[in-house]
């Protein structure tokens, strides 16, 4: 099943005088399968929040269309199956954690014991049980985001939209949030998250889309997007004298005393080189398939697309 499906989705914002127009999304085509953690990545202003707002019906497309959970956006009943954590959300500071969830639970039509039970379950999931009766003004940023997650889950949604869920949260808090998202995935939820924080998105997403200036530049698994053309690095134990006495097609780079590396272009060369090294009793320490980090790929992709625009 497709959780999200868009066809030439376009959003142009015009100022109140209609003079200045911002193309926030340009003919965007994106499909997201159910059951995945999908990350929409892009710099500030790329159009990520606009994308989520269009899917939720908070704002309307200028052109194109979209489906969520295989229903058209005009079908409001599908909203019952959706959870949403907005960017930079704020709750009234005088409310306690449990009260915030009660408020949102009532908004989604829940009540009584069922709601109380759900609230306790969710506070447990996001590790805030002991903070249930504490006013949210005392919460840290990480705790606020976790409470926000619980709020987005109150109606037991199938599909959850999270806009920058870890922005401004410290490393331990970010890890806690990632763990919750992985747990939700194991409960068959689909998670669509927006982020400009690449290194951590890389750790949990199944697929990512790269958005810049309203255009989807790439979409795929993190592995697909970060793979370089085939290249391997072999790390060996040995010293310069061992290596000088024999001639290889490739030159070795010194890593440290007694440790050298060599790069080879493909699997045949990799095995040929290993044979040569082993026949000389040189010890192999590591064989590493080379790849770009998501961040390197992201920066080169964005820089390239900016060049094309100019």
Ligand X SMILES: Nc1ncnc2c1ncn2[C@@H]1O[C@H](COP(=O)(O)OP(=O)(O)O)[C@@H](O)[C@H]1O
Give dist(CA 9, CA 260) in Å, integer.
52
E-assigned strands of the chain?
Answer: 2-14, 21-33, 37-41, 63-68, 71-72, 82-85, 159-163, 190-195, 207-212, 215-221, 227-237, 253-256, 259-264, 283-291
From candidates 2, 13, 246, 267, binder to ligand X by CB under 6 A = 13
Q: Is residue 16 close enough to count as binding ligand X by CB under 6 A?
A: no
Give dist(CA 18, CA 144) in Å, integer.
38
Nearer to ligand X, 48 or 67 (CB): 48
Q: 48-67 mask for ligand X (x: CB under 6 A)?
A: xxx-----------------
Residue 248 interacts with which of ligand X, Mg ion, none, CB < 5 to 8 Å by class: none
Residue 47 interacts with which of Mg ion, ligand X, none, CB < 5 to 8 Å by class: ligand X
Nearer to ligand X, 47 or 83 (CB): 47
Nearer to ligand X, 85 or 262 (CB): 85
Least separation in angstroms between CB 52 and Mg ion: 8
From candidates 46, 68, 159, 193, binder to ligand X by CB under 6 A = 46
Q: Is residue 212 close enough to count as binding ligand X by CB under 6 A?
A: no
Residues 28, 215 contacting (CB under 8 angstroms): yes
Least separation in angstroms between CB 87 and ligand X: 7
Residues 193, 162 contacting (CB under 8 angstroms): yes
From candidates 4, 41, 42, 219, binder to ligand X by CB under 6 A = 42
Residues 201, 193 contacting (CB under 8 angstroms): yes
Rg of the Cα trace of the chain?
Answer: 25
Query: What does the binding site for ligand X look like in residue numbers (CB under 6 A)?
Result: 13, 22, 24, 42, 44-50
């Amino acid at each position: 099943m497709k959780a999200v499906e868009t066809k030439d989705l376009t959003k142009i914002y015009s100022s109140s005088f209609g003079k200045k127009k911002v193309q926030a999304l340009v003919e965007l085509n994106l499909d997201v399968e159910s059951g995945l953690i999908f990350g929409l990545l892009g710099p500030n202003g790329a159009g990520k929040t606009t994308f989520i707002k269009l899917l939720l019906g908070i704002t309307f497309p200028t052109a194109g269309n979209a489906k969520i959970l295989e229903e058209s956006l005009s079908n409001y009943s599908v909203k019952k199956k959706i959870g949403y954590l907005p960017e930079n959300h704020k709750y009234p500071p005088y409310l306690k954690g449990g009260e915030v969830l009660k408020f949102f639970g009532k908004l989604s039509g829940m009540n009584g014991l069922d709601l109380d039970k759900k609230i306790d379950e969710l506070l447990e999931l996001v590790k805030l049980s002991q903070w249930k009766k504490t006013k949210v003004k005392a919460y840290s940023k990480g705790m606020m985001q976790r409470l926000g997650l619980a709020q987005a889950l109150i109606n037991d949604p199938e599909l959850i939209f999270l806009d920058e869920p870890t922005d401004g949260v410290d490393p331990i808090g970010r890890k806690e949030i990632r763990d919750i998202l992985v747990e939700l995935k194991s409960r068959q939820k689909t998670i669509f998250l927006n982020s400009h924080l690449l290194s951590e998105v890389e750790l949990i997403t199944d697929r990512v889309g790269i958005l810049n200036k309203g255009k989807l530049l790439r979409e795929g698994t993190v592995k697909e997007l970060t793979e370089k053309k085939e290249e391997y690095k072999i790390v060996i134990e040995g010293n310069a004298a061992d290596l000088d006495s024999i001639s290889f097609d490739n030159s070795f780079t010194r890593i440290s005393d007694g440790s050298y590396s060599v790069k080879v272009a493909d699997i045949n060369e990799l095995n040929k080189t290993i044979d040569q090294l082993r026949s000389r009793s040189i010890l192999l320490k590591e064989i590493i398939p080379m790849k770009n980090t998501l961040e390197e790929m992201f920066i080169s992709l964005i820089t390239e697309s900016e060049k094309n625009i100019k």
